[in-house]
Chain A
Amino acid sequence: MKPRQQRMLAVGLAVAGLAIAAVLTLRAFEENLMFYIEISDVVQGNVPQDRNFRVGGLVVEDSVIRKPGELEIEFTVTDRKNELTILYSGLLPDLFREGQGIIAHGQLGDNGKFVADTVLAKHDENYMPPEVADSLARHVADKAANQTVAEEATGSAE
């Protein structure tokens, strides 16, 4: 082997070795640091004992209950399969609203409700002015309505 090829091989091996090390580190990182539990698992009781963890989901429409005069708030999140009720008292991010994706950090209480010490709001990767968002929502609604009409039409024809 020429010296240059030797150097190439050495560099290649070093990079490969470190890539493997990084993958292993990240696997550990994924399991420990994140501690993100799917709602479906939380509902089934597959949660770590005596340890805080994260749950994430969409805030269910009309599920937000604010007790008058108190900071405490109760709402339900869903992963479109299962639902979980979250209790939280504190300041909410500006993006917190019904239908929004959120991540809550805390523990599962005895009553099956998740007691959060932090609630963070996620936003999606879409950027548009409100008018576009409105007309987009209207299009989707129209389409859904048309579909129901069409389904009913085919249904009655059968």
Chain B
Amino acid sequence: MWKFLHKLASPPHFYDLSAKIIPWFSVGALAFIAYGTIAGLFFAPADYQQGDAFRIIYVHVPAAYLSMLAYTAMAVSAGIGLIWRMKLAHAVAAAAAPLGAWFTFLALATGSIWGRPMWGTWWEWGDPRLTSELIMLFLYFGYMALRGAIDDTAKADRASAVLALVGAVNIPIIHFSVEWWSSLHQGPTLVREGGPAIVPAMMYPLLAMIIGFSLLFAALLLARVRSEVLYRERRTHWVRKLLMPSEEST
């Protein structure tokens, strides 16, 4: 087990293995998202209160879920990198940030588009769910800016890891905000006491979208970690061998 993990964490091995995994994740993501989109847009029944506007749920919820998953992945990897001095973990944290920022933006934007016709506003200042999600977008920006500001990779890793861990307190706040405070945003639908509050015909496309987006995130994350690994190992023999094969043959 340890041997396997050690081998996985070795940069050249990770670089090879991830190249083989990414296509599988991508195909899986495409299949789930295609089913979820078609079933969600055209086959799920309209909601009793919101009519067809509720269909925004199929893009909004996966985006919001991924925005938090990406942050969790970033903070956990940063913590592992900080404590065990594992370089691959820092690479994962650095790769997760831009993806997390994109999905946070998407969650905020689709939420806003959904809020206009239903709640009656694009944005509500002071709503805890909306505000804490916006704070997360700024945390991602801050993390990327900090990394960009420090030239030395090892120093950038350490400084940005501290920021990522500090900002992790925001994750439970986002999740529980709708329960702790009176909020315009409604409570959780899928994961709640007494089971999901959504009929199966509406729920299956949503689950498919969540799985599809998670696979997509995994594929994009692996692709970005590969770039990070390549850059960090740019002076090593295996990268030279990989990028300049002609040199090796002579």
Contacts and interface: CB of A to CB of B under 8 A. Distances in A.
A36 B181 CA distance: 10
A125 interface: yes
Nearest to B127: A34
B19 interface: no
A8 B54 contact: no
Chain A CB count within 10 A is highest, among B48, B57, B182, for B48
A53 B159 CA distance: 41
A127 B197 contact: yes
Interface string A36-52: 10000000000000000
Given A121-B118, A122-B119, A133-B48, A127 B181 contact: no
B119 A56 contact: no
Interface in B41-70: 45-50, 53-54, 57
A130 B47 CA distance: 7
Nearest to B165: A15
B168 to A, nearest CB: 7
Contacts of B165: 11, 14-15
A122 B184 contact: yes
Interface stretch (B77-85, B87-95, B141-149, B240-248): B77-85
B60 to A, nearest CB: 13
Interface string B183-223: 01011110010000111011000000000000000000000
A127 B189 contact: yes
B46 A129 contact: yes
Given A121-B120, A125-B189, A7 B46 contact: no
Interface size class of A (residues with CB under 8 A): 35 or more
B166 A15 contact: yes
Given A4-B83, A11-B83, A127-B199, A103 B47 contact: no
Interface stretch (A61-69, A93-101, A138-146, A150-158): A93-101
A34 B126 contact: yes
Interface stretch (A18-26, A70-78, A106-114): A18-26
8 contacts: A7-B83, A11-B162, A94-B53, A95-B49, A120-B121, A124-B49, A127-B47, A128-B47
Interface of A: 4, 7-8, 11, 14-15, 18-19, 22, 26, 29-30, 33-36, 56, 91-96, 103, 118-130, 132-133
